[in-house]
Chain A
Amino acid sequence: MRSLILATATRILMPMLLLLSAFLLLRGHNLPGGGFIGGLVAAATFILHSFAFGPQQTVRLLPISPRGIIGSGLLVATGSGVASLFKLKPFMTGQWKLMEFASGQSLHLGTPLLFDIGVYLVVLGATLIIILTLAEED
């Protein structure tokens, strides 16, 4: 039995929750948040979707399978550590670049952000794979 209220609310909530998860991921370096929390929020979003529409629909919604998400997450996280090897620094030495904007503001971009995105993806994928697999069993 599908609940109309849940389904409608989910449609409206999902984009906002996903935005929130991206927001948490990006602000994490300076304020509470980060890849782990962001990934969990994103996973919770899809789990909400699976409650409203059933896990098969959620699997169809995902552009790549949870397994693929886990794999790409590990790849991104490890890759971010490899970057420093090209500068002959030990594995996972943070590499930074200062971005200057026309407005006079500046931003430090670095491999730890990439690493955090990897964490985000692995957490998202692993949570989804566990819960969706269990839910699909019914």
Chain B
Amino acid sequence: MITATVISGFVLALTAPLLTRWRSSLAGYILTLLPLGLTTYFALQVSSIAAGQHLVESFAWMPSLGIHLSFYIDGLGVLFALLISGVGTLIVFYAGAYLAGNPQLGRFYLYLLAFMASMLGVVLSANLITLFIFWELTSITSYFLIGFEHEREEARSSALQALLVTGIGGLALLAGFLLMGHVGGSLEIRELLNQADVIQAHHLYKSILVLILAGAFTKSAQTPFHFWLPNAMEAPTPVSAYLHSVTMVKAGVYLLLRLNPILGGTDIWSLSLGFFGAVTMVTGAAMMVVQRDIKRLLAYSTVSGLGTMVFLIGLNTNTALLAAVVFLTAHSLYKGSLFLTAGAISHAAGTRDLDQMGDLARHIPLIALAAILAGLSMAGLPPTFGFIAKESLYQTVLGAPQLTIILTGIGFFTGITMVFAAGILAIPPFFGKSPNPATHHHSLPIHLWLGPVVLAALGLLIGIAPQLVAHSFISPVLQSVNPPAQDIHLSLWHGFNPILFLSLLTIASGGIAYAFRKPLLQFLAVGARLGRIGPLQWYYLILEGVKSFAQWQTQILQGGLLRRYILIIFLFAITTVMVTMFQHNGFGIKTELLSIRFFELTICLLMLAAAVITIRSQSRLSAIVAMGVIGYGIALMFILFGAPDLAVTQFIIETMTVILFVLVIYRLPRFVRRPAKYIQARNALVALLGGGLMTALVLAALNAQQGSRLSAFFKANSYLLAHGRNIVNVIIVDFRGMDTLGEITVLALAGTGVFTLLKLRPREEDDVCDL
């Protein structure tokens, strides 16, 4: 059943384009049913999981490598699965109206549902390799979704940026997983949980940690990799809400939580997570306050939020992990709501610029309600879930055994910026003066307000009654993240204590900053220029560097002169083969094998003569015919040594080659300026070396053949297993059929390659390729 929940998304994704073509207006409703069903399914599992039951499923995939298609649902899994399917339901529903009339809507559903299924795969996988595959699938679907409006240059380059950053992180992650599997002796996460001590004591622990953190940090946009996330705002807003705030960017956080019992608890774990998390928290918050584009502002606040989660996981106390989970849930609800609000605003008012908005509460009151509720949660004001999250954060930093002042300062600063940002998001656009009152406003269908209102209302509901989730959700998550289980307590009111005092101070400071926002923003705009020397610039520098390096080495190796290509290939082969032969003392030749018959001698002499003619000839045609003679000589040799298959093939190939050359020669200039003497000498030297080496290699191969058991196997089994008496052919089509499949694929590519080069050249009069 768990497997079905993952697979069903992919299946439905494939049918989405057809469904959309069939009934565009109905498709949204029909496609919403799947995430809705999944949400129900996961919700039904909550109580049994809270009771300590974990669902497990496993199918053998590549058992010899320890790779299984295995899934399980525990507290952590079910929290994420519900976020993914629940928010997914609202997003699919929302997208139908947001992108109504878009001719690519079917394709959009395809990517979105495939993403949802991949993301479910990530959080439900019980095998590291399965997890990695779904992890990469989320990167790929995210690439398609960011670049959905692919006519725009920015959308394409942002999509590529996100793919490169998360993709390189993904490669590191794979290496980390493999190392961890090697050290822990299994790729199954549940088995690795028992190996935590072994892994942490191993000398590869640090390498594993660095590689896995590289994967998690790139995915979850930690500084200095955070720059792809704001640029990913080129995606349609439902995508930003879903992938880039609620789900995909939290995959890194998920991984850290998931692996906390295996890798966590060490000093280096706490130090790296704490450091990178804190830096990201502050960077995101600082970049956030100066944004005027509503989506970019939300993106930077997401960066800061992700930093907060990583930071809290790094602190690694019970309180800290509880705070991380609570913050993650609260963040998903309010950030998803705010993004969808932003989408609704741009749909209704046609702008994403905060300066262009005003007085929207009159036109879209429900959106204003959602924005205010979500804003309260973001600012951490009671009685919302966000308030509880912030209280937990403050409780953690105030209770930290070391660096209490610094940690509290970081949390406090971020808290103030969140109050400030929530203010400018939720108040002026809806209640401020409209800069252009004459703007026409579209009315909003239910699709566009349902999502933000539901998410924001949930944030409020959980805030008022946190006991709804404390024992059923949060406690099982903590059991997965930091076993054994503990009793937890969530509430709005903790009494008069330093935490409450700090909260009040945060709200007051944020409120003051909001009141003086105009001069403050003018002042900060100066500082914003500093962003221009940030990691985004490093990314471009590296990308340009790679490109120009590629260009430089291509120019050297593949300058367009065929002679040069052949020279390089030969020299390379000669060097490598010669070094190997010297190393293994491979020049020993068995003289008793060198008896020569009269026929062979005659053919050899003929071939030698033909070779001389090829070199000395003044016309291309006779050179080619002479080459043909050499080929025929080889074919005769095959006959003499009892290989009729090879001989026939060689004869036909030689003939074809001559035909081919004749066809090409037509187009070449008459003949041939002979190159300078020293170049001829160089070519001759390379040719002699190559020929000599081949001779030595063939003679050496005679020795090596003695030990081979392969030909004996082929001889013995050709008829028994493959029902064929012609061993050569049986090898080609049966024993080594996979090789042949590869070879004919190459042949097919070569054929179509020639066709493409000759037929699909851009015509001279138009520079557009005529495809």
Chain A contact residues, CB within 8 Å of chain B: 24, 28-37, 40-41, 43-44, 47, 66-67, 70-71, 73-74, 77-78, 81, 91-92, 94, 96, 108, 110, 112-113, 115-116, 118-119, 122-123, 125-127, 129-131, 133-135, 137-138
Contact = CB atoms under 8 A, between A and B. Distances in A.
Contacts of A116: 729, 733
Contact of B744 (A29, A94, A112, A119): A119
A125 B754 CA distance: 12
Contact of A92 (B738, B748, B754, B758): B738
Contacts of B754: 129-130, 133-134
Given A73-B748, A74-B748, A92 B656 contact: no
B26 interface: no
B725 A31 contact: yes
B469 interface: no
15 contacts: A29-B733, A35-B733, A37-B648, A40-B656, A43-B656, A66-B751, A70-B751, A110-B723, A112-B722, A116-B733, A127-B751, A129-B752, A129-B755, A131-B660, A137-B667
Contacts of B645: 32-34, 37
A105 to B, nearest CB: 14
Interface in B655-692: 655-656, 659-660, 663-664, 666-667
B446 interface: no
Contact of B748 (A36, A70, A110): A70
Interface string B633-666: 0000000000011001100110110011001101
A112 B664 CA distance: 36
A99 to B, nearest CB: 12
Contact of A77 (B644, B653, B663, B744): B744
A37 B652 contact: yes
B739 to A, nearest CB: 11
B433 interface: no
A136 B660 CA distance: 12
A109 B171 CA distance: 45
Contacts of A138: 666
A123 B732 contact: no
Contacts of A36: 649, 732
A114 to B, nearest CB: 9
A66 B754 CA distance: 12
A5 B746 CA distance: 38
Interface string B692-733: 000000000000000000000000000001111110111011
Interface of B: 644-645, 648-649, 652-653, 655-656, 659-660, 663-664, 666-667, 721-726, 728-730, 732-734, 737-738, 740-741, 744-745, 747-748, 750-752, 754-755, 758-759
B737 A126 contact: no
Contacts of A67: 752, 755
Interface of B is mostly: helix
Contacts of B734: 94, 112, 115
B729 A34 contact: yes
Nearest to B647: A32
Contacts of A32: 644-645, 648, 726, 728
B737 A115 contact: yes
Given A31-B725, A126-B750, A130-B750, A118 B660 contact: no
Given A40-B649, A131-B663, A133-B754, A34 B733 contact: yes
A119 B740 contact: yes
A129 B751 contact: yes
A96 B733 CA distance: 14
B524 to A, nearest CB: 61
A134 B747 contact: no
Contacts of B748: 70-71, 73-74, 122, 125-126
Given A94-B722, A137-B758, A33 B729 contact: yes
A41 B652 CA distance: 7
Nearest to A94: B734
A44 B664 contact: no
B467 to A, nearest CB: 51
A112 B738 CA distance: 11
A134 B660 CA distance: 8
Contacts of A78: 741
Contacts of A74: 744-745, 748
Contact of A134 (B652, B664, B721, B745): B664
A110 B721 CA distance: 11
Nearest to B732: A34
A33 B647 CA distance: 10
